[in-house]
Structure 1
Amino acid sequence: MVAHALVSLAPRHGWQSCRPPSPQAADEQIQRTGGVSIPPTNTQAFSCIPPADTFASDVDVLVIGAGPTGLGAAKRLHQINDPSWMIVDSSDIPGGLASTDITPEGFLYDVGGHVIFSHYKYFDDCIDEALPNESDWYQHQRISYVRYKGQWVPYPFQNNISMLPKEDQVEALEGMIDAAMEARVANTKPKDFDEWIMRNVGEGIANQFMRPYNYKVWAVPTTKMQCQWLGERVAAPNLKLVTKNVVLNKAAGNWGPNATFRFPAEGGTGNIWINVAKTLPKEKCRFGDHGRVQAVDADNKRVLLGDGTTVNYQKLISTMAVDSLCEAMRNEELKEMTKGLFYSTTHVIGVGIRGSRPERIGDKCWLYFPEDNCPFYRATIFSNYSPNNQPQADKKLKTMQLADGSKPSSAEEKEGPYWSIMLEVSESSMKPVDNEKLLQDSIQGLVNTEMLQPG
């Protein structure tokens, strides 16, 4: 008997960073430029834009992009109720990179891993207004692990070296002791992410987890990343507590701002932003082709939309990718400057599986994979977030392939139950990916890491 039959395979490629209107980006990549003077635009390039008084709308503030950032800006403008405004997006459905895809079989997958957590009452109130009922949400305790040498180490890795093989515990502790001693005499800030890692966790954990995992996430070596973005996103271990846990062979408790989180009961993460958009006046929202930005005349403060209408604005808030915005501005000098910006891409692969969720998967939320026996850096058990993230058990579906890569012997449609996994794979010029093999390599990675087991 084959343990796992794959009934839905949904690869999505080429999600470049900071490209909100369409799902083409990894939402954790930040591009910054400073001190750049904007050269004047060639006005001849905008002969396609009608005169300002033809098919035109006039607003004080135009917001481009209906992802969380754009919707947040529109929400504030609506509350102020003073400047006139409009929000536009090329997608028919708001949400941007926080949207959710639904496969033909009925499996839901977010555009990468997203969970909601917040320190801000205003944000919480905004979300609660959009989805106000207790039945709109499922509450979860984060259960996350790191796959390391064939075993599951509780997250965060650096707080749970007590779960490692003894020789790795020694290597990790020695590195942490060295790091603590060096930190006492350091009088400068870390110059990059790699130096931050070395100062906080030392050589052992750097090589065991931090360097390989972060390279798989960002598609950039840690030596080429700055470290000001870290904040509370990375746990700085307590050497005394870690040592105590090693001696007692004890795992550390849950850590971090998302140790508990909630997830929409219906529609995935994207349902949050669809409902946030519904709290805005319809007449101020243009989504779909008539919200698609064709050209931006920055000198004359005009934007040409996909339906041929023009919006005249006083202030522009753009969440488009920098290179896409410069392309729309038709400014050759600016377009040339954007070629120097580095970006990464995330591929998201959704795998729908027939059969009962195995005990070894249990109620895990998301899992980290620093090793090179799989292309993905993170796997999310998306079916654990809501029973509505996959088809009901009585739905009949064809088997697309078996876990061992072979084709099924029968094309007969069969009932469930079903569960699902969402995988994330990064790519950049420093970390190329073979798109033709990515899907099968990912499935083989699930087998290699014992997430799936051929019968």
Structure 2
Amino acid sequence: MHVKFLIIGAGPTGLGAAWRLAGHGENDFLVLERHAHVGGLAASFTDRAGFTWDVGGHVVFSHYGLFDRLLDELLGEAVLRHQRESWIRVAGTFVPYPFQNNIRRLPPELAWECVEGLLAAGRDAAAGVHPDAPAHFRAWIDRVFGPGIARLFMVPYNFKVWAHPAEAMSHRWIGERVSVVDAGRVIKNIIFGADDVAWGPNNTFSFPLRGGTGEIFRRLAARFADRIRLGAAVVSIDPAAKTVCTASGETITYGRLLSTGPLDRLVADQLVGAPPALIEAAGRLKHNGAFIHGLGFDGAPPDSRCWMYFPESDCPFYRVTNFHNYSPFNTPDPDGMRPRLRALMTETSFSGYKPEDPATLLDRTVAGLAATTLTAPDDAGRLVSTWEMAVDYAYPIPCLERDAALGLIQPALEAMGIFSRGRFGGWKYEVGNMDHSLMQGVEWADRMVAGSRETVYTL
């Protein structure tokens, strides 16, 4: 079999590329997906009790008009709009997100520790104490926020979410991902007793009425379902022969190839004749994994919060989402005829730096919900559903070696006619949101058809 355009992976990037090719009138394409479903990390699943779960705490917001218009086409009126309400659990209380803007909620001695550190950081910056760029993410945290915010939130939370030490990470991915605040703004919030919660591009977000986030990509894939092959894992890519072999033994020749799977696996496991230098560079890329748990409770009290962050050690998870608040159809009782159902979705990272025992994690997760006051001590008896998924590739780590590795790997692949894009295909967390990922596929298709320049994924 031969196709003009071959796409590996039916996640947001691969489906975005296929959709754009079809829009250009280029219908000679095929999408290979190793799983039995589309959506990648943006897929959704319904458990045996009727609860719907995402693969982590996704919300839909966008930096791109084209993405917004596509979402409107796909969902129409079957979408809900939300104002973000997110919190951080610290020192026995909840602080509104972003933490550094809202330390007034802390006990006075801890609030002062944070302010004192911010003031010192500001004095150091004004005096030019640190003329050189920070050597790593931890140094950036200390310089920007001072020791108080670093100790209470930034250092422990970032280890829980990335499962890598901040000293092993670059600070260059920050951009809009972390709110940088000055001491004057913090002090003003304390004096006026004001919460400062509007920061960030996801301050408002959308969510599908039915089917979870995965509904977006099921509907998109339905437009060209005849050109998507599920359960078709790729085992080898021969760039010289321009052939791809699947686990079933099929060989497909192609004109142009887009790979959206993990870049390290592409180079080390799939690429025929990969040069040793590329394999070595791919080995320098780092990632974490995550365990996702969906816990359905019967008769829980109302809770208006969207999601919450947990930097402390009294629970294994780093984030919990009140998934029932995103859509009533995420529970098996959308009309509310039963006592209120609550769908709590937790995320726990793991890596070689931070191993987790899956055999005990569910029990520790349930205990952690009670320890952090998200559930009452007797709520364990009201647990009516559990769902879990282990995700080997959750976040691409912006490690210190990343940019040099990508600078070697990506041009070499493109010289072979292979383009690697997406959350893990591009390995750039800062452009790894759902909208970024889909737009990477769109811009690749535009480049292939019209020679346009890519702007979302750049080196």
Structures share fold, TM-score greater than 0.5:
yes
Greater relative CO, 1 or 2 (CA 8 Å, sep 6+): 1
Read off the aligned partner of 1:139 and give its amino acid letter. R
1:32-111 alignment runs, 5 A limit: 56=1, 58-82=2-26, 84-111=28-55
- Measured against aligned partners, the alpha-carbon deviations of 1:177-230 in whole angstroms (never above 9, x if no partner) come to 111122221433222111221222111101110000000000011111101111
Q: Which residue is 2:225 aligned to? A: 282
1:352-391 alignment runs, 5 A limit: 352-355=296-299, 357-359=300-302, 362-391=303-332
- Measured against aligned partners, the alpha-carbon deviations of 1:308-336 in whole angstroms (never above 9, x if no partner) come to 43221122111112343232335585667
Q: Which residue is 1:312 aligned to? A: 253
Secondary structure class of the residue paired with 1:128: helix
CA distance in 2 between partners of 1:253 and 1:425 (Å): 25
Q: Which residue is 2:237 aligned to? A: 296
Secondary structure class of the residue paired with 2:254: strand
Secondary structure class of the residue paired with 1:232: helix
Does the CA contact (< 8 Å) of 1:393 and 1:417 recur in 2? no
- Measured against aligned partners, the alpha-carbon deviations of 1:25-58 in whole angstroms (never above 9, x if no partner) come to xxxxxxxxxxxxxxxxxxxxxxxxxxxxxxx2x2
| Farther off after superposition, 154-163 or 304-313 | 304-313
Q: Which residue is 1:147 aligned to? A: 89
> How far has the Cα of 1:422 moved from its partner?
0.3
CA distance in 1 between partners of 2:356 and 2:86 (Å): 26
Q: Residue 446 of structure 1 is aligned with which of 339, 344, 369?
A: 369
Q: Residue 351 of structure 2 is aligned with which of 412, 423, 428?
A: 428
Secondary structure class of the residue paired with 1:375: coil
Read off the aligned partner of 1:316 and give its amino acid letter. L
Q: Which residue is 2:143 aligned to? A: 199
| Farther off after superposition, 444-453 or 416-425 | 416-425
Read off the aligned partner of 1:420 and give its amino acid letter. A
Q: Which residue is 1:268 aligned to? A: 212
More helix by percentage: 2
Secondary structure class of the residue paired with 1:189: coil
CA RMSD of aligned residues (A): 2.1
Read off the aligned partner of 1:219 and give its amino acid letter. A
Q: Which residue is 2:385 aligned to? A: none
Unaligned runs of at least 5 residues, structure 1? 1-55, 397-414
CA distance in 2 between partners of 1:84 and 1:387 (Å): 40
Secondary structure class of the residue paired with 2:201: coil
CA distance in 2 between partners of 1:323 and 1:143 (Å): 36
Secondary structure class of the residue paired with 1:258: coil
CA distance in 1 between partners of 2:171 and 2:336 (Å): 48
Read off the aligned partner of 1:181 and give its amino acid letter. R
Read off the aligned partner of 2:269 and give its amino acid letter. E
> How far has the Cα of 1:376 moved from its partner?
0.3
Read off the aligned partner of 1:312 and give its amino acid letter. T
Q: Which residue is 1:243 aligned to? A: 187
Check if 1:188 corresponds to 2:111: no
Check if 1:419 corresponds to 2:361: no
TM-score (norm 2): 0.77
Read off the aligned partner of 2:106 and give its amino acid letter. L
Secondary structure class of the residue paired with 1:226: coil
Secondary structure class of the residue paired with 1:92: coil
CA distance in 1 between partners of 2:332 and 2:82 (Å): 21
CA distance in 2 between partners of 1:191 and 1:339 (Å): 22
- Measured against aligned partners, the alpha-carbon deviations of 1:134-180 in whole angstroms (never above 9, x if no partner) come to 2x111111001100111111110000011111001111011111111
Does the CA contact (< 8 Å) of 1:394 and 1:417 recur in 2? no
> How far has the Cα of 1:105 moved from its partner?
0.7
- Measured against aligned partners, the alpha-carbon deviations of 1:246-299 in whole angstroms (never above 9, x if no partner) come to 1223221321100110100000001111112123x333222x23x332332222
1:192-231 alignment runs, 5 A limit: 192-231=136-175
Q: Which residue is 1:156 aligned to? A: 98
Larger-gyration structure (1/2): 1
Does the CA contact (< 8 Å) of 1:235 and 1:256 recur in 2? yes
- How has the CA–CA distance of structure 1 residues 331 and 445 changed in structure 2, closer, same or farther, with 3 Å as cutoff? farther
Does the CA contact (< 8 Å) of 2:328 and 2:334 recur in 1? no
CA distance in 2 between partners of 1:394 and 1:285 (Å): 36
Does the CA contact (< 8 Å) of 2:118 and 2:182 recur in 1? no
- How has the CA–CA distance of structure 1 residues 228 and 282 changed in structure 2, closer, same or farther, with 3 Å as cutoff? same
CA distance in 1 between partners of 2:49 and 2:308 (Å): 25
- How has the CA–CA distance of structure 1 residues 436 and 143 changed in structure 2, closer, same or farther, with 3 Å as cutoff? same
Read off the aligned partner of 1:295 and give its amino acid letter. S
CA distance in 1 between partners of 2:271 and 2:334 (Å): 50
